[in-house]
Amino acid sequence: MEIHKAITDSDDRRLKTKYNNAVYVIQRALTLYNIEEVAFSFNGGKDSTVLLHLLRAGYYLHMKERMRCDEELTYNQCKFPIRTIYFESTSAFPEINSFTYETATKYNLQLDIISQDFKSGLEGLLKTSPIRAIFLGVRIGDPTAVGQELFSPSSPGWPAFMRVNPILDWSYRDVWAFLLNSKVPYCSLYDQGYTSIGSVYDTVPNELLCDNNPPGDKVEYRPAYMLSDGRSERAGRVKKSAQRLANNVSQSNGVSNTESQQTCIPTASVLGVGDEILFGTVEDLVGPSLCKKLHSIGWAVTQFNVLRSDIDSVAESVERQKSTNEMVFIYGGIGPLHSDATLAGIAKAFGVRLAPDEEFEEYLTNIVGYQCTGDRNEMAQLPEGITELLHHEKLQVPLMKCQNVVILMATNLPELDKEWDCLIELASSNGLLLLPKPFSSKYLTTLLSDVEVAQPLSALRIEFPDLSIGCHRKSRHGQLVITLKGKDEAKIDLATEGLFKKFKPGAFSVEK
């Protein structure tokens, strides 16, 4: 069978692994269900084209094993019998329709053409056929992929069938490696710069493939397989809303958006993960230093917790903190060991699973070598669909961001300093972090007792609720240090004058 031979003869070790895993899933499904009970949803796109040829190869190997045949099968013996469903739409590209029908003819597909929406069409089809399982070309990163496994029952409210997802863990580059290595035809739109094809109303060529120097005035695009970053696969999907909030300058009580950003106090939570810290075996310097750094750029830290190296503990804390703070910063527990629960905990907090990330795996491979990472590197399993890699030329491995949760790799202060500097540079260039007006501070020292200053300070807090007023002593019998912090320096001065008036002159000194 030409597909099986093309992939097994390839030097691409990763592709072989992906191929073997996908074919195993297909053979497993063909063992669990009779051939009349399975179907294949084909839409003419690149993913379903890959799945078509994987099914052809999987069925071929299934029949060879079933017939215990060591020689090549005849055409009739391996003729593709799986029922193929095509949901025809008036909004589909003509090229998609043409390719679908040409493919059906070329490979003798039993094509069921349905003109209804996917759900209604399936309901009608399953009422009149014995279909129990449907092969789908769903991949991680697809909007419908969240929560799915290789074998996943249909969602509540849908007709009952088993979703079989052989290429669930395939990346954009895996798809193109398969298509190019196996030399099978694919829709011509992909050679015109389209990287993810929906309807004619929401799909345009990917601007990242635009040829900046075409002959004449004609705009040209490179083929889809030349897209270097698979994360931008859906960049050619047009947003439904043309209005961009970022371009609007909203007014609130006569204050511009820029001014309000400068005077606001964004909040962050800092979470450390590590049993060694809780046992007292390791002194945690990263967390306190991170709190200082956040404060230095005008952020208020509402929580600083150290968590057990336990998935549930991380998940519960992240879920709580991400909904009550603008950002959550988490460190520790990143790695391949059994105690490294951070990424799994974050995935659970967002209700997604850990899934292979090809780009992150490449970074790790460059550091420790392929022989150490293997085919299923646990450190390259990231929360699916929500993880953004934060690249910086000074970082050997990019940091990660899952929506409003930033994952730091630092285990010591020099590493934290380096990562923090990179974060600030990224914040300045692409708005990763809001950089508001920093806090102003005033430090007062006094020999007065706690009892003497307690009531006046309580009254001051009521009078100036937007100021932070803290107290501490450098030693048990040393001077009391009173700290006033806020975004409005004039209010700090007013609060200081108000406190001075309640005591005799000279009761307080202002620290420089």
Tell me the DSSP string of 254-304: TEEHHHHHHH---EEEEEEE-HHHHHTSS---HHHHHHHHHHHTT-EEEEE
Q: Please tell me the predicted confidence (pLDDT) of residue 54.
A: 95
Distance CA 136, CA 147 (A): 15
Q: Please tell me the predicted confidence (pLDDT) of residue 431.
A: 64
Note the CATH number of domain 2-177.
3.40.50.620
Q: Please tell me the predicted confidence (pLDDT) of residue 215.
A: 56
Alpha helix ranges (H) inside 431-472: 450-463
Q: HSE, CB side, 13 Å, CA atoms: give it for residue 118.
A: 8
CA dihedral 406, 332, 381, 154 (to 10 degrees): -70
Structure pTM? 0.57
Q: How many CB atoms lie within 10 A of CB 370?
A: 14
Per-10-residue mean pLDDT for the chain, 512 residues long? Answer: 87 90 94 93 94 92 75 60 88 92 91 85 89 91 76 88 92 91 94 91 88 68 86 71 33 35 73 93 94 90 93 93 91 81 91 78 65 49 84 86 92 94 82 75 90 90 86 85 88 91 90 72
With beta carbons less than 8 A apart as the criterion, state whether 427 and 392 touch.
no
Note the CATH number of domain 440-511.
3.30.70.100
Q: Please tell me the predicted confidence (pLDDT) of residue 247.
A: 36
Q: How many CB atoms lie within 10 A of CB 199?
A: 14
C-alpha triplet 255, 257, 261: angle, nearest 5°: 105
Q: Please tell me the predicted confidence (pLDDT) of residue 251.
A: 33
Q: Please tell me the predicted confidence (pLDDT) of residue 76.
A: 54
Beta strand extents in 125-221 (DSSP E only): 133-135, 151-153, 162-164, 210-211, 220-221
Identity (one letter) of the amino acid at 492?
I
Q: Please tell me the predicted confidence (pLDDT) of residue 4.
A: 87
Fold of 265-430: Molybdenum Cofactor Biosythetic Enzyme; Chain A (3.40.980)
Distance CA 350, CA 386 (A): 9
Alpha helix ranges (H) inside 273-412: 275-279, 286-296, 311-322, 342-350, 358-368, 370-373
Q: Please tell me the predicted confidence (pLDDT) of residue 245.
A: 30
Kind of pairing, strands 162-164 and 133-135?
parallel
Domain boundaries, the chain: 2-177, 187-236, 265-430, 440-511
